[in-house]
C-alpha cells in the first residue's frame, strides 16, 4: 500500500521545524557575511601575486645605451 501525502509529510517533517534550524540559519548568515567581507581582500591579494609573478618571470628591459 502506498502511503498518502499526509503520511509521508508526517514521517519526514520539514527542516524548518527542526530545533537546530535557527542555529543553522544563523551560522549560514555568518558564513555569508564573512565571505562577503573577505572576498575583495582575497581577490586583491591574488591579483597582486599574479602581477608579482608576471614581473619576476619577465625579461629585463634596459633603457640606457648598450655596452
Count of the separate structural domains present in the chain: 1
Residue 48 included in any domain? yes
Report the predicted TM-score, pTM, of the whole model to 2 decimal places: 0.51
Q: Is residue 38 part of a domain?
A: yes
Name the band, by pLDDT with cuts 50, 70 and 90, for residue 66: low
Sign of the dihedral defined by the CA atoms of residues 25, 29, 32, 34, in that order: negative
14 within domain boundaries:
no
pLDDT at 30 over 90: yes
Which residue range is the domain that position 51 belongs to?
30-56
pLDDT tops 80 at residue 12: no
Report the 10 Å Cβ neighbour count for 2.
5
Amino acid at each position: 500500500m502506498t502511503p498518502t501525502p499526509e503520511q509521508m509529510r508526517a514521517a519526514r517533517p520539514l527542516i524548518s521545524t527542526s530545533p537546530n534550524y535557527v542555529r543553522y540559519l544563523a551560522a549560514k548568515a555568518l558564513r555569508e557575511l564573512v565571505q562577503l567581507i573577505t572576498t575583495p581582500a582575497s581577490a586583491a591579494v591574488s591579483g597582486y601575486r599574479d602581477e608579482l609573478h608576471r614581473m619576476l618571470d619577465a625579461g629585463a628591459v634596459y633603457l640606457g645605451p648598450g655596452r
